[in-house]
Chain A
């Protein structure tokens, strides 16, 4: 009963409007300013193309772009999937064994101090011009936030809750399945949301080092031939891809965690404005 009112609430057009209109307006304002600046100061297109130029270039290159976008998306998704798998397995391992927690956790933190861009050429040397170096770069960038948030989520179970289940005769396995895992899912999703915003960047870096297809390759080629407008097209597509992935994750989270989005006692009391 309450959950349905909750869903209605989140789909309320007025709320959607109030959430998305301000950033959208600011973005439009920024694009307009950019357009005016390029026009007022007569900036050369190879230095800074106007938004209209970028749009035109995008339409012009659309046949060319579709394969590049698909390739980047493929690398991103495979790399992210690998990161998710490895991240969750590592988190559970760390959670189950106090020894592994002590041994692994500091090493994981240290691993993040290695600049991943410098690893990419090595990966190409080892794995060749295949899709693997890109997948691994994406996975390396994504797994860390997933491990950290999931470990925290698993260890944040309420001790009294654990005692209660124990008093009911639950085994360790049952406690893990019934209390600790579901309690860690919101934290896992936080990690996934951070990770997914890195993932496209990871694929682009992987492609810069050596690839024949992908948005990163398209970007390099465009820059080398001074097609700055195409560089901007690639940048816009990268950020669109990231936004798309972020949205998918957010929707999945809402669907997976209806309880997390059930606010206390669903009635909302508001003052009625504008009647005086």
Chain B
């Protein structure tokens, strides 16, 4: 039933748009790699093209140059191959929590009864027990976000693309959801590409962090996070964590040496 998690590679990705008739390069040779079952975060200034990158990996947009490889194989048609979760929860307002969660299985023609049982059994893990028949309008922001994540998880695609899923939430709900996301992710073992603006969130969650430059985006820092799992909130107070944070912040401030040697 569940698609096995796979390794995702992005190779020399270039993408330009035409804005008011002027070509605008958004991605300028981005390379990155998320090994099977790892949690990889992209962090970069607003508007640097992170969402474009995820849309390309999801197959919604086509790169001008470069490739997306799943388990080492260049994959052209990626629609339906990944679970994408955009910034807004985009729950269908006329469907209940359960109906929204079952969207993936329904689109893929899975057995509705089995999918339903499956989804119901996951509601407690997603903190939605007792809300199966509630409409999205009746949920809090955090619950809506978890319902959207449940929908994404139930696509069973092995690769999750999460575009600032907690961006719109307050700091407290956010930190609770980060810990919760780690638990859920460890249970499912999916490969995750995660986008955020928040350095601490990036380091706390990830096995590896990529820092992107301003537009046109390139990778200016690739940083492995050697902190053991499962992780507690307290690790954010360790000196190692502070050192990693310093590196990312320095890269974001544009002080890291430019690998390609091109002028910035």
Instruction: List chain A positions with a Cβ less than 8 A from chain B.
Output: 1-3, 158, 160-161, 163-170, 174, 178-179, 182-183, 185, 257-260, 262-266
Contacts and interface: CB of A to CB of B under 8 A. Distances in A.
B227 interface: no
A168 B155 contact: yes
B176 interface: no
Given A163-B60, A169-B80, A178-B92, A259 B137 contact: yes
A167 B107 contact: no
A196 B93 CA distance: 27
A257 B94 contact: yes
Interface residues of B, number: 32
A218 to B, nearest CB: 44
B136 to A, nearest CB: 8
Contacts of B137: 259, 262-264
Contacts of B138: 2-3, 262, 264-266
B90 interface: yes
B60 A3 contact: no
Contact of A164 (B86, B133, B135): B86
A3 B134 contact: yes
Contacts of A257: 94
B149 interface: no
B131 A258 contact: no
22 contacts: A1-B131, A2-B134, A3-B135, A158-B90, A160-B90, A163-B60, A163-B86, A164-B86, A165-B107, A166-B60, A167-B80, A167-B82, A168-B104, A174-B107, A178-B106, A178-B107, A183-B94, A259-B135, A259-B136, A259-B137, A265-B140, A266-B138
B223 interface: no
B84 interface: yes
Nearest 7 interchain pairs by C-beta = A169-B80, A2-B138, A167-B84, A259-B135, A167-B58, A262-B135, A182-B94
A259 B88 contact: no
B79 interface: yes
B108 interface: yes
B71 to A, nearest CB: 19
Chain B CB within 10 A, most for which of A158, A164, A182, A183:
A164
Q: Is the interface of B mostly helix, strand, loop or mixed?
A: loop
B82 A258 contact: no
B103 interface: yes
Contacts of B55: 163
A197 to B, nearest CB: 26
A183 B90 CA distance: 13
Contact of A259 (B60, B90, B93, B108): B93
A160 B86 contact: yes
A55 B131 CA distance: 53
Nearest to B106: A178
Nearest to A265: B138
B95 to A, nearest CB: 8
A59 B140 CA distance: 56
A181 to B, nearest CB: 10
Contacts of A265: 138, 140
A3 B94 contact: no
B257 interface: no
B130 interface: yes
A1 B104 contact: no
B94 to A, nearest CB: 5
A262 to B, nearest CB: 5
Contacts of A266: 138
